[in-house]
Every structure is written in C-alpha cells, then in structure tokens.
C-alpha cells in the first residue's frame, strides 16, 4: 500500500510539474539508528525551481499519506517505553454524523473516564483558587506566616467596610415581593384617586420642598449646573401641563433620564412618575449591596429623625447648608405617610363632606 | 443490493498491532455496511478504543476518505487499520546539488 501511495505521489507530481524528468522515492524500513536518514526523494528537472518545489511537495505528501510508522525506542534505563510517533500532518480523523444531532446538544468525543477526570481536575483547580482567594481576602497574614492547617473558615478576620470598596462578600437573597413595594403602590393608588386640585397642590408642595432640599445639599455647584444645562439640551423636556411649573417638570424629566426610566411623558400623572422613580430606587438598592452598606453606615452616625419636608417660607430664600443624606425605603415610606396625612387634612379643608377622607 | 455475509482480512499496523496483539486477523461482516458501523465493529472486536478517533480504515489499499459512504464488501477484501502515520523522520536534510 505504501508503494501504491508512492506511485500516486509520483503521478501527482508529474501532473503538477510536467517538466519533471525523473522521480525517485526511497524509504528505509527496519531499524534506523539515531541521526540517520530514513527517506530519500530525488527529482530531476531542467530548472531547479521545479525540482525544489516538487521535492517539498513530495515529502509533505509522503508524510501525510504513506502508511509507514515509526516507533521510537529508547536506551535501557530511561524509564520511557517505546512509543509510536505521530505526524502533525496526520489527516483529520473521521467525524461522526454531526448534522443529525440536535444543535443545542454538545457532542463529546472523549471517553467517559477522560471527561470525568477533566471535570475532577477543573473542580480541584477552582477549589484551590477559591481557597487562595479567600485566604488572601479574609486572613490578614502573609503566605509564609500561615500555619499548615489554616483555612479561611477558622482563620478569617472580619473587616469593617467604611468606604464603598467592599471587602466582605454577602449572599444576596431574592424575594419576589420586596417588603415595601406593596405599601408604596397602595399609597400611590390611593393618592391618584384624590381630587385633582388637592393632588396637584400637594404635589407641587412636595416637589418644591424637595427642590429646596436638593438645593441645600450642595448639588447646585457650578459643575452640576452646567451638567444639568447640557443635559436639558439633549433630553426632550416639555412643559405642556400648565399646572406643573417648568422647573419641576424639567427636573423630574432629568431625574427620570438619569436613573434610566422611560418617562411616561411630561403629562403623565405626577404620582405615577414618582412611583416609577421610587421603584427604581428600590431596584438600585436591591442590586447594589455596597450602596446599602454605605447607607447603613451613614444611618448609624446621622439618624434621620426629622424627615418632614422642610417648609421654607417664600421670603426665606437663603439655602441652608446641610450634610448630604441618604434615604432608605423606610424613610421614603415615612415621608409618604406624612404627606398622605397632610393631603387628607387638605382634602378635609377643601371638601368638608368628602366621605373618602 | 442483496445483503450478504462476507469475510474480510484485517491488517494491523503500529499501535493497532500492539493493541490487538496480532498482525492479521479476519472478521465476518454484513455487506453493504456504512463507514461508522464498520469502524465500530472493528474497534470493538479488536480492542482499539484508544485509537477510536484517530485511526483511518483502508480497504484494498485505498484510504476510505468519506465517512458517510456505504461500502459494498466482497469476500477476501483486505481491510487495513491505519493509526496516525509517521513515515520518515522529523528532520529533513535537503541536499542541495550544485548546478
């Protein structure tokens, strides 16, 4: 069969390079000592270019096709068994019928043992890396100081997290119903049922209060103002609702834009829009544990006892300087309850016979 | 094509020879047969599983290139088990003849 392959190679050569004169392929069999050649290919042609490229092609083809094997035998005492060698030119192995398989399935050609040993090795590697990581994170020791039987479970040192760079890892639990969302949605709904006049009045009051508050929290630095100005040119801000002052509508739109809520439109119910923002805050809090930790840290040192809207009389325009505060959902709930009670009072004043209040 | 039983001569080379422990053997098969069934039968019968995904079959001194083909076998056909080949050496000395 090898000779047949040689013959094929010869024919192939003569087809490719018609000016070849003679071809000789000689392959040695039996023992071939180290450093001796085992194959000779000689090709003659009128010009050297033909012969050189033909020889190269011939040897590559021979290595790929000719069924000749080589077994390397090593000197006694090297502890290596004789091995059959493989070419890199080895033809691609026959594939199974891939087209008939479900494309969502994976076909594994390796043997059962191989797959399992791979999985085992991978698991061991991950475990090792995890251990190493945990040791680095929780055990405040240098590698060389660690006793042999130390591990992060018995050797961990807790770190207090003050900055946003959290070092301690947490487990995050997902609940379908976040406590607080129900309450919020209820209050939102009840508010939308109120009469239009009182609703708008109170909403304006609320937002004005918030505006002042945000003014006093130092957000009106020149940079922020410039940013807001720039933003307002890019975001569509309209103020069709005559009952909402332009500034409030704009700010609300900007907030919605900033936190990534698709605005329900400038004419949308203010309470619906506020509800959306609240929902977004809840979502952000749930997603970002670092934020929660930071919030709890601030809470510890600056209890938010007075959460009522700062009522500032119209002539008192001078902004107060207050430290920035972070509000939790409970705080917002509290505030909403407060506003609700205010609203019902206002509703009583406006419509004394309202059975709803 | 009528189904018939055929007896093939099987030749083993290199690693396949080591695994099967013999140079030559015979196998009884049903013809016609497709490539993968033939490969499976040979691998299982002669303990060639380590070579399962790298060996090539040659029938009557011709490589079987197409793994989809259905083979029509005859009695005394010669089936060669071709493990990865390694003819020649890795170091090629090209002797340049002066012109």
How close does chain A come to B67, measured CA to CA in Å?
6
How far is B83 from B46, CA to CA, in rounded Å? 14
Supply A105's token pair. 């399935």
Indicate the range of A8-17, A69-78, A83-92, A301-310 predicted with least confidence: A301-310
Q: Within an 8 Å CB–CB cutoff, is residue A152 touching chain B?
A: no
Summarize the confidence of residues A228-237 as an average pLDDT: 43
User: Above 80 in pLDDT, residue A134?
Assistant: no
Asked if A290 contacts A164 with a C-beta cutoff of 8 angstroms, the reply is yes
> Can you give the residue ranges of every domain in chain A?
1-83, 117-141+244-300
Residue (of A66, A47, A46) closest to A58 by Cα position: A66
Query: Are B85 and A68 an interchain contact pair (Cβ–Cβ within 8 Å)?
Result: yes
Question: What is the pLDDT averaged over residues A93-97?
Answer: 47
> Is residue A247 pLDDT above 80, yes or no?
no
Distance CA B60, CA A16 (A): 26
Read off the CATH number of the domain in which B49 is found: 3.10.20.30
CB contact under 8 A, A93 and B56: yes
pLDDT of residue A318: 46
Flag whether residue B1 sits within 8 Å of chain A, measured between CB atoms. Answer: no
Q: Average pLDDT of A277-286?
A: 81
- Taking CB atoms and an 8 Å limit, are B85 and A90 in contact across chains? yes
On average, the pLDDT of chain A sits at 66
B67 assigned to some structural domain: yes
pLDDT surpasses 70 at A28: yes
Q: What is the pLDDT of residue A137?
A: 67
**3-state DSSP assignment of residue B57:** strand
* CATH superfamily of domain region A1-83: Molybdopterin biosynthesis MoaE subunit (3.90.1170.40)
pLDDT averaged over every residue in chain B: 80
**Residues forming a β-bridge with A84:** A71
A168 or A152: whose pLDDT is higher?
A152
Number of C-beta neighbours around residue A18 at 10 A: 9
Domain count across chain B: 1
Residue B26 maps to a domain: yes
Highest mean pLDDT: which range of A123-132, A199-208, A234-243: A123-132
Q: What share of chain A in percent tops pLDDT 70?
A: 46
Q: What is the pLDDT of residues A47-79, one digit of tens each?
A: 888 888 998 888 888 888 888 888 777 777 766
Give the Cα separation of A153 and A62 in Å (integer): 61
Give the mean pLDDT of B66-84. Answer: 84
What is the rounded average pLDDT of the residues A177-204? 37
* H helix runs in chain A, sequence order: 2-16, 48-65, 112-138, 152-155, 181-192, 196-216, 222-234, 246-259, 270-287, 289-301, 329-350
pLDDT tens-digit profile of B16-49? 888 888 889 999 988 888 888 888 888 888 888 8
**pLDDT score, position A94:** 46
ipTM of the complex: 0.73
pLDDT at B83: 84
A68·B55 Cβ contact <8 A:
no
Structural domain harbouring B33: 4-82
């Amino acid at each position: 069969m090898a000779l047949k392959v040689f013959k094929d190679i010869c024919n192939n050569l003569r087809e490719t390079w018609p000016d070849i004169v003679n071809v000789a392929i000689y392959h040695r069999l039996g023992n071939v000592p180290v450093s001796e050649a085992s194959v000779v290919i000689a090709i003659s042609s009128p010009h050297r270019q033909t012969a050189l490229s033909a020889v190269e092609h011939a040897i590559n083809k021979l290595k790929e096709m000719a069924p000749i094997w080589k077994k390397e035998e090593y000197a006694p005492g090297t502890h290596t068994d004789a091995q059959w060698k493989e070419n890199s030119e080895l033809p691609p192995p026959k594939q199974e019928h891939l087209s008939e398989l479900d494309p969502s399935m994976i076909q594994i050609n390796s043997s059962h043992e191989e797959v399992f040993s791979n999985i085992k090795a991978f698991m061991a590697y991950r475990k090792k890396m995890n251990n190493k990581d945990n040791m680095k994170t929780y055990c405040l020791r240098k590698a060389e100081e660690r006793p042999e039987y130390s591990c992060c479970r018995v050797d961990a040192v807790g770190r207090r997290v003050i900055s946003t760079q959290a070092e301690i890892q947490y487990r995050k639990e997902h609940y379908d119903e976040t406590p607080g969302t129900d309450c919020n949605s209820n209050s939102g709904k009840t508010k939308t049922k109120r009469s239009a006049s009182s609703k708008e009045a109170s909403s304006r009051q609320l937002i004005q209060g918030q505006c002042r508050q945000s003014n006093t929290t130092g957000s009106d630095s020149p940079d922020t103002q410039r940013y807001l100005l720039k933003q307002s040119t890019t975001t569509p801000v309209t103020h069709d609702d005559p009952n909402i002052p332009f500034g409030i509508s704009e700010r609300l739109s900007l907030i919605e834009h900033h936190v990534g809520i698709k605005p329900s439109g400038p004419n949308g119910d203010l309470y619906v829009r506020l509800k959306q923002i609240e929902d977004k805050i809840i979502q952000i809090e749930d997603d970002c544990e670092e934020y929660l930790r930071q919030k709890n840290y601030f809470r510890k040192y600056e209890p938010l006892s007075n959460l009522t809207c700062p009522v500032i009389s119209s002539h008192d325009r001078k902004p107060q300087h207050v430290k920035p505060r972070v509000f939790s959902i409970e705080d917002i709930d509290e505030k909403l309850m407060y506003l609700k009670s205010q609203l019902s009072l206002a509703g009583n004043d406006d419509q004394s016979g309202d059975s709803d209040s | 094509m009528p189904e018939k039983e055929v007896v093939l001569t099987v030749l083993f080379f290199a690693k396949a020879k080591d695994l099967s422990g013999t140079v030559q053997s015979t196998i009884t098969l049903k013809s016609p047969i497709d490539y993968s069934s033939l490969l499976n039968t040979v691998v299982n019968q002669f303990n060639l599983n380590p070579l399962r995904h790298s060996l090539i079959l040659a029938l009557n001194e011709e490589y079987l290139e197409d793994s989809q083909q259905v083979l029509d076998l005859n009695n005394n056909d010669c089936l060669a088990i071709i493990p990865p080949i390694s003819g020649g050496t890795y170091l090629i000395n090209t002797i340049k003849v002066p012109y």
